[in-house]
Structure 1
């Protein structure tokens, strides 16, 4: 097993940490991003978007917590955006560190969290869940 110190270790590490689940959708194309954001607007749901990378240690650390939150708040749409698959898109959101979480309502940013702070992610997710229609 590799140490996941560089992107070259991706194949070994990908099997050990899940970045998507039943309630967390992996976004690797603009089409899938636009579809999920459109769905959230139509259904009046909050989007939580985790800009992440397979090789990122803090991303791997927070991924299970994010999946638990997605299960706890199924009325939100939880996405994981692979910054390596969508680098220009990630840059357009000003992502300079991974993980970076964006909270969107009606397609617009209402909050943001940079880093893998478990308690802060839980707090912010609980707070925005109260904004659901």
Structure 2
């Protein structure tokens, strides 16, 4: 599967419709982003079951701000609509494949339980 451009208006639907979504936050003027782009594209073709999205931080400034992007490229991974990875900086092809495999291998029952526990703790802290 090739990479797809993601806009703010599309993001929630893409996350809802797909089990695993990777997002590459980038900009046209960013040298490391341009170096990472072919690695990201090539890896996307090896994982048909994963959506590889690209978010142009210049065109999607509100989305980049909402995602807390302070450095590009930044790579985010979502599984079952839960952010499970967020890291600035370009990675190599082998590292990106390892990341995809690690996201696929996550025990999502455990992840959802931790998310619920954290939400409960935050809720009781604000009481």
Deviation at 1:130, TM superposition (A): 2.8
1:39 partnered with 2:14: no
Structure with the larger helix share: 2
1:130 to 98, 105, 111: 105
1:115 partnered with 2:89: yes
Deviation at 1:31, TM superposition (A): 2.1
Partner in structure 2 of residue 78 of structure 1: 52
Deviation string, structure 1 residues 58-102 (Cα, Å, up to 9, x no partner): 010010100111111110011001111111211111111111010
Partner in structure 1 of residue 75 of structure 2: 101
How big is the alpha-carbon RMSD for the aligned residues of Structure 1 and Structure 2?
1.9
Q: Is the 8 A contact 1:102 1:112 kept in 2?
A: yes
Aligned residues: 107
Structure number with greater Rg is 2
Partner in structure 2 of residue 9 of structure 1: none
1:30 partnered with 2:12: no
Q: Is the 8 A contact 1:48 1:77 kept in 2?
A: yes
Ranges in structure 2 where 5+ consecutive residues have no aligned partner: 109-127
Ranges in structure 1 where 5+ consecutive residues have no aligned partner: 1-21
Aligned counterparts of 1:132 and 1:77: Cα–Cα separation in 2: 19
Deviating above 3 A after TM superposition, structure 1's stretches of 4 or more consecutive aligned residues are none
1:58 partnered with 2:32: yes
